[in-house]
Amino acid sequence: MRTLDREQPRATDGARPDADGRPLPLTLAVPAAVLAGLALLFAFPPYGLWPLAPVGVALLAAAAHRRRLRAGAGLGFLAGVALFAPLLEWTNLHTGHLPWVLLSLLQAGYLALLGAATAWVSPLADRYRAAWPLLTGVLWVGQEALRDRTPFGGFPWGRLAFSQDTSPLLRLAALGGAPLVTFAVAVAGGILLTLVWRDWRATAGQWRPVAGLTAALVAVLAAGTAVPTGVRGAGDTVTVAIVQGNVPRLGLDFNAQRQAVLNNHVDATLKLAERVAQGTQRRPDLVVWPENSSDIDPLRNPGAGYRISQAADAIGAPILVGAVLLGPGQGQVRNAGLLWRPGSGADLTQLYTKRHPVPFAEYVPLRSIARKVSAEVDRVRSDFVPGTRPGVLDTGAVTLGDVICFEVAYDGIVRDTVTGGAQLLVVQTNNATFDVAEARQQLAMVRLRAVEHGRAALMASTVGVSGFVSPDGRVDGATGFNTAEVVVRQMRLGDGRTPATTAGVWPEVTLAALAVAALAGAAVLRRRRRATAG
């Protein structure tokens, strides 16, 4: 432990409480790292204490500042475990502890890299104290950019931006998407740290930097309120129904009663049709069923196809069905959103196949190796084949952008539907194998996407939480969990583009490039210090 806590080169600006420029004692740094992870955890749904996100960022940055790389990485890993183990606890509800533990440790590894990077740029933060918040911001964006893409396409769950669904910072998504929101949260954390990291025993002149930093913190947190949100472009309104049919029982074996799940969604739609016929409910222009609402392939099973046609004909509107389709090859399947029209049935020209199947859940990469770790991988008997086209589907009344389940966490997959012409965002999901915490975390992502692209959005789940989201991020008609419900709302369509939609990936590329530049700049400064010391 003594080796990990060797002091960094002494600071010369006198801003650190320790005149010799040492890092925090490990007796403080270790609890700070753990508290950082817990603060970040409680910022996310279902807790929703979004102001704790900047606090968590500040605590981790304080713990890693002026550490050697191994110590910074270790403290980052502690924070990552404290965050991801409870945040992802829903992954072990029905699959056992091993997948949960492995996924949590993998995600914590990225915070270990962040901790090491934070330690590495310490000389820059000490020399250019005003730049410390910006350094913190770009390092967080860089870490998330890496975690969102690696390995096997990445796992963006737990991004700082997704903790801000009730925060004024959410509106910044309209300018730069999730990366800009993450940057703003991390900058706020960096300002907090810069505000506190000073010698409070010296009273002369303290009020100036304190006042300036406090004003900067308030400005960052208030910046979102100045960003306009709402529907982009003049659009018509459409009436949309979400059918949440529920499942016989939660868990991985929900699909053992596939016919019952399909029947639940058919029967709920038939009851909605009865209310329409009685004049107590407006006829919807579109009905949305969730992912896995028909795990029986309706294109190959006449009985399943008949039941869906029965529902579509009764309601007199197209149904977006979440279906598992067999093929195209032997032992392969597709997770699809399929438009089913009244009178004519399946419209194969309006079919979206999930482009990002979940590794080790919908397909097993490196199966022979993975089997040596856990035989549970063989629960995935057939690998889901990824689609190749964005989920832009024309129902007649509306062009919708369909994404399926975890795809809502990936920036590019959602953006492609909007640039492809989507007027409404639809997220089909199945939360029957998880819990209400996971469902609410996913709904927070839908809220960010609605603001990011200036589109009304909805999430349709088998068991909940389903709901409608306006382009300013407000939720309407949210359902309960593990219940059967039907919700109908009018939604206004959008046709324009936000700055975030137009900018695409470039805000993230720019901020990540600045993170790389900061790491390089710290390397130069370290070499100069060694040369001077020599």
Run of H or E including 152: none
User: If DSSP states are collapsed to H, E and C, what string results for 12-46?
Assistant: CCCCCCCCCCCCCCHHHHHHHHHHHHHHHHHHCCC
3-state helix, strand, coil in the chain (%, to 5): 50, 15, 35
- How open is the CA angle 39-45-46, to the nearest 5 degrees? 105
Handedness of CA 356, 359, 363, 365 (dihedral sign): positive
Instruction: Name the residue among 371, 332, 330, 379 with its Cα closest to residue 354.
Output: 332
Q: Which two tokens stand for residue 61?
A: 């940055």
Interacting residues of 250 by C-beta distance below 8 A, sequence separation 6+: 94, 432, 433, 463, 482
Picking from 59, 53, 70, the residue whose alpha carbon sits closest to that of residue 30 is 59
Using alpha carbons, list the distances in angstroms from residue 129 to 13, 18, 121, 467, 525: 9, 16, 12, 45, 14
Amino acid at 307: R
Q: How far is CA 467 from CA 156, 247, 404, in A?
A: 22, 18, 15
Residue 354 among the catalytic residues: yes
Are 457 and 474 in contact by the 8 Å Cβ rule? The answer is: no
Q: What tokens does 99 get? A: 């997948």
Q: Count how many Cα atoms sit within 13 Å of the Cα of residue 91 in the half-sphere of its side chain.
A: 18
Comparing CA positions, the residue from 52, 123, 40 lying closest to residue 82 is 40
Identify the CA nearest to 240 among candidates 467, 404, 495, 394.
467
Please list, in sequence order, all residues whose beta carbon lies within 8 angstroms of the beta carbon of residue 227, skipping any fewer than 6 positions away.
Answer: 171, 172, 174, 175
Clarify whether 372 is annotated catalytic: no
DSSP state of 363: B
| CB neighbour list of residue 11: distance below 8 Å, 6 or more residues apart | 21, 66, 126
Q: What's the length of the chain?
A: 534
Q: Which of 7, 144, 274, 354 is catalytic?
A: 354
Tell me, yes or no, if 274 is annotated catalytic. Answer: no
**Catalytic pick among 7, 89, 144, 291:** 291
Structure tokens at 122: 């310490």
Q: Say what angle helices 132-147 and 52-64 make with each other, to 10 degrees.
A: 100
Under DSSP, is residue 349 helix (H, G, I), strand (E, B) or coil? strand
Q: Which of 144, 362, 405, 407 is catalytic?
A: 405
For the annotated catalytic residues, the residue numbers are: 291, 354, 405
